[in-house]
Copies of this chain bind each other. A is one copy, B any other.
Amino acid sequence: MSNFTESNGKTLRHTRADVLAAAMKILDELGLPDLTMRRLAATLEVQPSALYWHFANKQTLLACIADEIIDRAKGIGVGLDWKAATRAEAESLRNALLAFRDGAEVVSSTLALGLGANQAQARLTKALTGGGFDAATAETAAAAILHLILGQVWHEQQRIQADSLGVVSGTAAVTPEHAALGLPSNQAFELGIALLLEGLEQLAHTRNNLGTV
């Protein structure tokens, strides 16, 4: 923890990293609705105004959390072909979102606000580029894959939350790793990614046959 002094002489007892770490702890333990600047300030034993030295507003703080969540997605292995690389990125992003309570919501809202989380789509785009697609196709396909990941994890995290509150109705209350309708989450996710990649491979073949790639 570093100590430095603002122009008004007030000592800042926390670094930006301290504030971010405390915010991520509140998010993970209590969830997004309970992550308020007031609660964060109380946890750090400072006035709420002290937080704005580090983060202009709550949306900026959430964007930094979103970037941190995505940064923690472990990288893909070297030497993978584009399909294996894209699948690995997609699985790694899903796991990174699942690792933090309300992770999908923090990342989706940050993307919608245009405040960050750009690395998620950039990583998928980079992996897809190995398939020889033009930049627009790779970016658009990456956006579709990202929507599938976010829709999937959103559903899973709402379900986990509901399970923890005991508010899931009888027929849907199977095991935690099962989504609504009794389908294993992994199965729908893996099939969805596999189908998207298969579709892309066919697109590449068609283009190759037409001599446009």
Residues of A at the B interface (CB closer than 8 Å) are 59, 108-109, 111-115, 118, 121, 137, 139-141, 143-152, 154-156, 158-159, 161-162, 167-173, 179-181, 183, 187-189, 191-192, 194-200, 202-203
A109 contact set on B, CB distance < 8 A: 158, 162
**Contacting residues, chain B, for A121 (C-beta < 8 A):** 181
Given contacts A158-B108, A183-B139, A196-B196, are A189 and B144 in contact (CB under 8 A)? Answer: yes
Chain B residues with CB under 8 A of A199 = 194-199, 202
Extra A-B contacts (10), CB below 8 Å, given A114-B171, A144-B195 = A108-B151, A121-B181, A140-B183, A143-B192, A145-B192, A149-B151, A150-B154, A150-B155, A198-B198, A199-B202
Q: Which of B113, B152, B197 contacts A147 (CB 8 A)?
A: B152
Query: Are A203's CB and B192's CB within 8 A?
Result: no
B198 near A203: Cβ-Cβ < 8 Å:
yes
A144 and chain B: residue at smallest CB distance: B192
7 tightest A-B contacts by CB? Answer: A114-B172, A151-B151, A144-B192, A195-B199, A198-B199, A112-B158, A147-B151
Which residues of B sit under 8 angstroms from A180, Cβ to Cβ? 111-114
Contact of A112 among B118, B141, B155, B198 (CB under 8 A): B155
- Looking at the assembled complex, report how far the CB atom of A173 sits from the nearest CB atom of chain B, in whole angstroms: 7
Distance, CA A162 to CA B162, complexed state (A): 27
Residue of B with least CB distance to A191: B140
* Complex Cα gap A106–B108 (Å): 16
